[in-house]
């Protein structure tokens, strides 16, 4: 099973790398597979590579669902 997570491109460097934001966490990822991506775009990230530009509304929904999953996981750990 693969998991691709949406992130917002904050900055692109000349060497096809970009700084992205995953709901408050920033990482550097590769744009080699998606050179047309621009700052402000939401992209799906898989294993450090941007693989697709996604609609900002869809990205927001996915990020919200991931946050809810994390909250539920924390609640379950507290109960154990």
Angle at 20 between CA 52 and CA 24, to 5 degrees: 120
Per residue in 52-80, pLDDT (tens digit) is 999 999 999 988 998 899 899 988 888 87
Q: What is the mean pLDDT of the chain?
A: 92
What was the pLDDT predicted at 76? 87
Reported confidence tier of residue 1, pLDDT bands at 50, 70, 90: low
DSSP class of 7: E
Closest CA to 7 of 68, 52, 69, 71: 52
Alpha helices, DSSP H, located in 1-80: 56-79
Please give the tally of structural domains in the chain.
Answer: 1
Q: Can you give the CATH number for the domain in which 51 is found?
A: 2.30.30.140
| Range(s) of the domain holding residue 22 | 5-79
Is residue 40 over pLDDT 80? Answer: yes
The Cα 78–Cα 16 span in angstroms is: 42
Question: 3-class DSSP state for residue 80?
Answer: coil
Is residue 24 over pLDDT 90? Answer: no
Is residue 2 over pLDDT 80? Answer: no
The two tokens of residue 42 are: 């939401």
């Amino acid at each position: 099973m693969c998991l691709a997570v949406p992130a917002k491109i904050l900055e692109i460097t000349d060497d096809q790398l970009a700084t992205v934001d995953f709901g408050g966490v920033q990482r550097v990822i590769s744009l080699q597979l998606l050179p047309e991506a621009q700052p402000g775009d939401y992209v799906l990230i898989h294993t450090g590579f941007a693989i697709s530009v996604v609609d900002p509304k869809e990205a927001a929904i996915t990020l919200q669902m991931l946050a809810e999953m994390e909250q539920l996981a924390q609640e379950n750990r507290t109960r154990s």
